[in-house]
Structure 1
Amino acid sequence: MAHQDIQLIPVIDLLQGRVVRAVRGDRRSYKPVVSQLCGSSEPLEVATILCEHCDAGRLYVADLDALMGGVAQQAALQALLAGLPDTELWLDAGFADAAAAQALLAALGPQAARVVPVLASESLRSRRALEEAFAATSLGRDRAALSLDRRDGQRLDTAGCWDAPELWPQRVIVMTLERVGSGAGPDLETMAALRRLAPQARLVGAGGVRSAADLAQAAAAGAEAWLVASALHDGQLPRQPRRPR
């Protein structure tokens, strides 16, 4: 898989209604984003610029208020959905189980049909929640995504997600938190290991990408897409040519 075949999925981290700069998963220290592309931290403005730069039809949103135990930023999410009518929103809002995801989707209204809820291993409350999350009677394997989270070599995984590939949905995110915003390079070893473990999954990497060369290596390791933010704001990834729709 060549670099041009790996999809870029731009990321915005929302904290109290603004876009902040993610650094190594230390969420309480995040500051409003300073960017070579954007002169603002207003969510819709940043999201629009990043999606245009990446020629992306998907946007990943981390709702940090919800991830840190607060209330989901419903108004900001609805504004993103309204302002980006052709964009699919991948949303991590600290869902403890499928019911929590379904409740937020219901609150977002009809536009939630374009939301892919991301259930993260750091947030799922139990093995039972994992077993039920992607069942046909729940969110389904084609509707939601699973994020396999780790930090400093340690799995963040109360529910045992990492060791249950038979329960994984079609889309799986490989999230190496200490590399987010670090410029340390992508975690190719973990990506390659999970590709061997789940050859049919659509694997999406996150963290560490600095250049087109990193993306090419990520594709070779088995990634079909990569979540990007810092490399965009720092001008490390060129504008992607617009592809025919």
Structure 2
Amino acid sequence: MNGHVVRGVAGERGKYRPVESVLTQSTDALKVAQAIHDELGLHQFYVADLDAILGTGSHRETVNDLTSAGFNVMLDAGISNVDSANRWINSNVQFVSGLETLTSWDDLRQLVSRCPDQEVVFSLDLKSGLPLGTLGIR
């Protein structure tokens, strides 16, 4: 958020703060990912571009830095349909399409069919056990 890796607080974005870690003093995504990789051997990361989700910006360069460094990225950037995915097609990321941002189930179907070479991950977004967004679950 605002260019920093943050620690989430129960989904309340106003309470998110830059991450604090014993692995690194940095809040830079690439440095944090590298520190986690060096310590734990992990190479796949879920990245929520909160600015993109909120419609206030994008951290495409940061995501590109992560994939260029060899990390696999599951990207949640408010991708809810083919139009919002276009800037990420062929970018070496797995799309995360969250219930919170979907406007229709058809949009999700079209996204999956339009991107056969990129995996689409569905995020079931819940708060207090209830689905977020306008679609609901049937």
The answer, yes or no, to whether TM exceeds 0.5 is: yes
Normalised-by-shorter TM-score class: 0.7 to 0.9
Structure 2 counterpart of 1:125 = 103
Q: What is the CA-CA distance between 1:141 and the residue it aligns to?
A: 8.8
Unaligned runs of 5+ in 2: none
Structure 2 counterpart of 1:97 = 81
Listed as ranges, the matches of 1:1-245 within 5 Å are 15-82=1-68, 84-85=69-70, 87-101=71-85, 103-106=86-89, 112=91, 114-135=92-113, 138-140=114-116, 143-160=119-136, 162-163=137-138
What SS does the aligned partner of 1:78 have?
helix
Matched residues in 2 for 1:63 and 1:78: separation? 12
Matched residues in 2 for 1:33 and 1:57: separation? 19
Q: What is the CA-CA distance between 1:119 and the residue it aligns to?
A: 0.6
Q: TM-score, normalised by structure 1?
A: 0.52
Q: Could you say which structure has the larger radius of gyration?
A: 1
Q: TM-score, normalised by structure 2?
A: 0.87
Identical pairs, percent: 31
Q: Which has the higher contact order (CA 8 A, sep 6+)?
A: 1
**Cα-Cα RMSD:** 2.0
Q: C-alpha offsets along residues 6-62 of structure 1, whole Å, 9 cap, x if unaligned? A: xxxxxxxxx121111111111122111111222111111101111333322311111
Q: C-alpha offsets along residues 49-80 of structure 1, whole Å, 9 cap, x if unaligned? A: 11333322311111010111222212222222
Counterpart amino acid of 1:133? L
Structure 2 counterpart of 1:166 = none
Q: C-alpha offsets along residues 169-217 of structure 1, whole Å, 9 cap, x if unaligned? A: xxxxxxxxxxxxxxxxxxxxxxxxxxxxxxxxxxxxxxxxxxxxxxxxx
Q: What is the CA-CA distance between 1:98 and the residue it aligns to?
A: 2.7
Counterpart amino acid of 2:111? A
Q: What is the CA-CA distance between 1:140 and the residue it aligns to?
A: 3.5
Matched residues in 2 for 1:141 and 1:123: separation? 22
Matched residues in 1 for 2:118 and 2:64: separation? 23
Q: What is the CA-CA distance between 1:142 and the residue it aligns to?
A: 6.3
